Each structure stands twice: as C-alpha cells, then as structure tokens.
Structure 1
Amino acid sequence: MEWLERMNNVLDYIEQNIDGEISYKEIAKIACTSEYHFPRMFSSISGISLSEYIRRRRLTIAAFEIQKSNVLIIDIAAKYGYDSVDSFTRAFKKIHGLTPSAARKQGVELKAFPKISFHISIKGDTEMEYRIENIDFELRIIGKSKPVKTARAFKTIPTLWNGAKKDGFMQELIDLSWENPKCSLEGLLGVCGKEASITDDEFAYFMGVRYDSEPPNDMEILTLPPSTWAVFPNIVEAWKRLYTEWVPTSGYELANLPCIECYYGPKRKPRHELWVPIVSP
C-alpha cells in the first residue's frame, strides 16, 4: 500500500537524520500530506507525538554513545540538538531516570526506544458514514483563537466551549450566526489550527462562526479558500478513526487546510460534524 510505504519512509528519514537537522517540511513532503495533518496522523497511528518520538530516539542513541565512547557529554548534547549540558541532562534524566554522567557507569539500567514501523491492521468492522461537500466560495470565519496542547485536546476543547458559554462569548457567536446561510457549514465552528504548522505540541483552536459582515472589534478574521470537504458525523468518533481507517483507504489526499468541528443548533441531527479538507483524486 502506497500510504503505508510513505509513512515508513518518514521513519527512515528520521533515522538517517537523527544526529542532524530533521526538517518537518521534508517529513510532510515524504508523507505526501499537508503540514496541518501529519502531526495528528502520526500520533493517531503510533500513539506518540512526532516530536516526542524523535526526542526518545535521539536520547536512546545518545545513551548508546555515552556508554560505548569517551566523547564528552557536552559534545554528545550538541550532536543531538541540545543547546546546553543542562537541557540535555534534564531530557536524558526524564527518559532514562539518571544523568548522562551516571550512564557511563557499568551495571546501570537505561531505556531503549526502538525505531517503530507501520504495518497494516485489518479493521473496518464498523462502517464510517461520510459525505463529500464542495464549498465554491471563500469561507470567512470570525472569532477568537485559544492555544491547545495537542495531547490534551479532547479534554481542553470541551472546557473552552464551556468557558465560552459561561462568559457569554458563545451566545455572541450564536447571535451572529445564521444571518445569511450560504452552505451546510452553518453553526459554531472550531477550526483546528489557525496557522499551517507541523509543530505538534500545541495548536491554535479558533472558535467562531461563518460571517460575511464586519466583525466586532474584539474578534479576529480567518479566511479559507474554496475547498472540497469530507464530512463525518460525531466529532470524537471521527477524530479517532479518520487517520487510521478512512484516510489510508479512501484514495483522497488531505488538503493543506485545517479541519473544522461544526456544532449545529437544537433539533439538528447529527448535532455535530467533523469537516476534513481533501483533494479529489
């Protein structure tokens, strides 16, 4: 499967550059996917973030080098991307439970995180409902962005909406929405990543609505070009299965745009949907 080969090529690239510069743009290029989507795709499939995987691999190989050579700790730290011995020591101790200098002693226990590889896992016992939507005009979304730690996104995002309900921001968005409906994407919108970036530790979650008039002074404007979207009911379930089940088998490529969580009004079924930008094959 071509998709599987691409993902394993990414792992090969990381290994080949583990003691040098690893270009996240090059990673996205090798995977033939967008910088928006690769971090979440990688963590969904592997169970670990891209940056944490690279960090663990570097510290694993650094530990081997410390034990097998007399190279100065400061030189090993620099080789694996650390600006100082102190920062290297903190990271090393977090992974291995002891300092780099202590790792040179015989008989100490260290942790080795091997290179991972991706294989096909047969799933699909439960169907995934979806539809394709084409929005042929520019999407103009107004609202506010909040930083979200990727590892805590499923817990943080509901908290953000609860806070918006309490402080009146949600009602303000509701009052602005549906004034001039133009498409199916009418509701409270959570745009997952205002800026295109492969940095996977944190992203900007943009809470807003589609709106064509002048926004209130305290709101930002996010504009997305005309695009084609794959739309899935049930946001949480869709996120869990999107990158591991739908993308590898669909034949679609992901566009270099953020996904959008759409929360509809009362009595609308489904109550919420995940909109995923795609490039038609």
Structure 2
Amino acid sequence: MISTLNRLVDLVEEHLVEDVDVDTFAKMCGTTEYHLRRMFSSLAGMPLSEYVRRRRMTVAASDVVRGESDLLSIAVRHGYGSTEAFGRAFRAVHGAAPGDVRRDGGPLRSQPQIRFRLTVEGGLPMHTRIVDRQAFRLVGHAARVPLIHHGVNPHIQRHIAALPAAEHLRLKALSDTEPAGLLAVSDDLDPDFPEGTELTQLHGVAIGGDTPVPADLDTIEVPAGRWAVFRSSGPYPQTFQTTWAATATEWFPSNPWRLRPGPALTAILAHAADFRTATCELWLPVEPV
C-alpha cells in the first residue's frame, strides 16, 4: 500500500492540471478507490482532493510571481475556466489573491510533494480479530453531524444527551446479535475522510435480519461480509482515536486486508463511572486484498 500511495503521488504530479482517474489507477494496482482514498487521507492528514489543490496552487504561484503571463492564461493552464475560480482556489491555499501576490511577491504557502514511508515501531499492540457476519440491521436514532478527528465530538454528545434514559434501556433490550450492546455507528463517510464534512451518526444496536424494527427507529441495512475488530483500552477517547488512526498507519499496510464501503461501528464494552477510561471495540468492514 505504501508503494501504491507513492505511485499515486507521482501520477498526480504528472497530471497536475488534469483530474486523475483514481478509480482506474486503484484497479490497476489491485485495490479500490475507496480504500486508496481512505488510506491517503489517514496517512497524509488531508484528503487527496485537498493535496491536489495545494500542489496545483504551489506550482501556479511560481507562474504568478514570475509575471510572464496574464492571470487568465495561468488560470487556464492550471485547469481553471476563469480568473474568478482560479482566484478562489489560490486564495484558499495562500491566503491572498493572485494579483496581490504578483504585486507583493507573497505571502505564499507551499505544499511539498508528499512521500510515504513505513516506519516499523511496534509501540502500539493491535488486538484484532476477523469476523464473518451474515446480513444484519442497525437500528436506533440517527443524526447528521460534522466529522471531528480529535477529542470528543460535541454534536454527537448533544445527540445522545437528548435521548431520555429509558430510551437507552429500550435500545439495549432490542440488541440480539453481535456486536452486542449500545453502538456508535458512523455511516455515509466521505472516502477522503475530510474533517468537517457531514456523516450519519446512529446511536443504536445491532439486530438480526428477521427481527422486527419499531416504526419510530432509524434503520441501516448491513449486508453480509467480513469485519476487522480492533480492541482498545485506556483513557477515553484518546486511546480509541489512537487505535483508529493506527489501523491506517500500522495494521492495513502490513496485513492482506482493505477497507470496503460500509459503516464503522464502535462498541463500548466497559467504562469508568466518569467515562475517563473505557474498553472499546472498533468494527471496520474489510475484504481480502
């Protein structure tokens, strides 16, 4: 996967003013666009689309500063149909308009070309199991929330806090299949995983495909497939978020599995009274490479 990501970076560089066909490239490399984008975002700390935009504007800045072409010509050369669209993209990266940079010589924020390297540390034991599951359902209360990579997500906190205590007990009573108990479900995630984009967050439980669903609950149908289950224990949510990040930096690069589209499930198996520590399981849908 590391070599594939570096080949993707090279491909982006070769076609910087064009849209790279990531799906075709992924298939040629024996993987999927979904998995490739998720791994890029997790390892690079930014979506692939954002990296491409930053690289385009880094190269475009040189043309702007040199002043050998008018701004419209530079915009077209770098894949933009108007100076307005080019100006918006340029300002988003550099914090200044192209005309101001041409006049003042800056400010400029360069994006170096990324190179991925696998560093073997072994500092974080990955307690993992692979589970085959028949089709099941996730039922509960869903809301659209923004994605936050670090710390507690206050939008999810408010969503769960708005539910009465009796509703949590009712949901737990409905649970009849693994993963057991109350679950935090993240669905409809953008493959690029950009922070701030919306996803569906469901507070609920897993039930069998034949179990009746109460009419007042939201439902996510989950097809049959395999899951990688990662267990973490320690300060919450820091240890859990570190484990989630390590799936991309350590586990997937060194194991013959890749992500497939589907919800990510979090089961809290045990926790301190104040929730400062917790033992959790992260369920990620996977398929063999």
Q: TM-score range by the shorter chain?
A: 0.7 to 0.9
Aligned 8 A contact 2:90 2:98 in 1: yes
Of 193, 199, 222 in structure 2, the residue corresponding to residue 200 of structure 1 is 193
Cα distance in 1 for residues equivalent to 2:31 and 2:169? 34
Larger strand proportion, structure 1 or 2?
Answer: 2
* Identity among equivalent pairs (%): 28
Gaps of 5+ in 2: 233-239
2:138 to 136, 141, 144: 141
Following the alignment from structure 1 to structure 2, what is the Cα–Cα distance between the partners of residues 87 and 94?
11
8 A Cα contact 2:145 2:198, kept in partner? yes
Give the AA of the match of 2:226: T
2:259 counterpart of 1:254:
yes
Query: Does the 8 Å CA contact 2:226/2:287 hold for their aligned counterparts?
Result: yes
**Aligned 8 A contact 1:189 1:260 in 2:** yes
Q: Which residue of 2 aligns with 1:120?
A: 118
Q: Secondary structure at the match of 1:190?
A: strand
The size of the alignment, in residue pairs, is: 272
Q: Residue 174 of structure 2: SS of its match in structure 1?
A: coil
After TM superposition, the score normalised by the length of structure 1 is: 0.81
Q: Which of residues 167, 170, 177 is equivalent to 1:172?
A: 167
Q: Is the 8 A contact 2:139 2:213 kept in 1?
A: no
CA distance in 1, matches of 2:12, 2:18: 9
Match of 1:95 in 2: 93
**Residues 30 and 117 (structure 1), Cα distance of their counterparts in 2 relative to 1, 3 Å cut:** farther
Matched, 1:209 2:211: no
The 1-side partners of 2:182 and 2:73 are apart by 52
Distance in 1, matches of 2:123 and 2:188, equals 34
Kindly tell me: are residues 148 and 25 of structure 1, through their superposed partners in 2, closer, same or farther at Cα, counting changes over 3 Å? farther
- Unpaired runs of 5+ residues, structure 1, are none
Cα RMSD between the aligned structures?
Answer: 3.1
Name the counterpart of 2:130: 132
Change (3 A) 1:206 1:213: farther
**Separation of aligned partners in 1, 2:51 and 2:156:** 31
Alignment partner, residue 235 of structure 2: none
- In structure 2, the residue matched to 1:162 is 157
Q: How far off its partner does 1:119 sit?
A: 1.5
The one-letter code of the counterpart of 1:209 is V
Deviation of 1:50 after TM superposition, in Å, equals 2.1
| Kept in 2: contact 1:231–1:274 (CA 8 A) | yes
Distance, in Å, in 1 between the alignment partners of 2:21 and 2:152 is 29
Give the drift of 1:275.
0.7
Deviations 1:3-39 (A, max 9, x none): 2211111112222222012344346546654454444
Helix, strand or coil: the match of 1:187?
coil
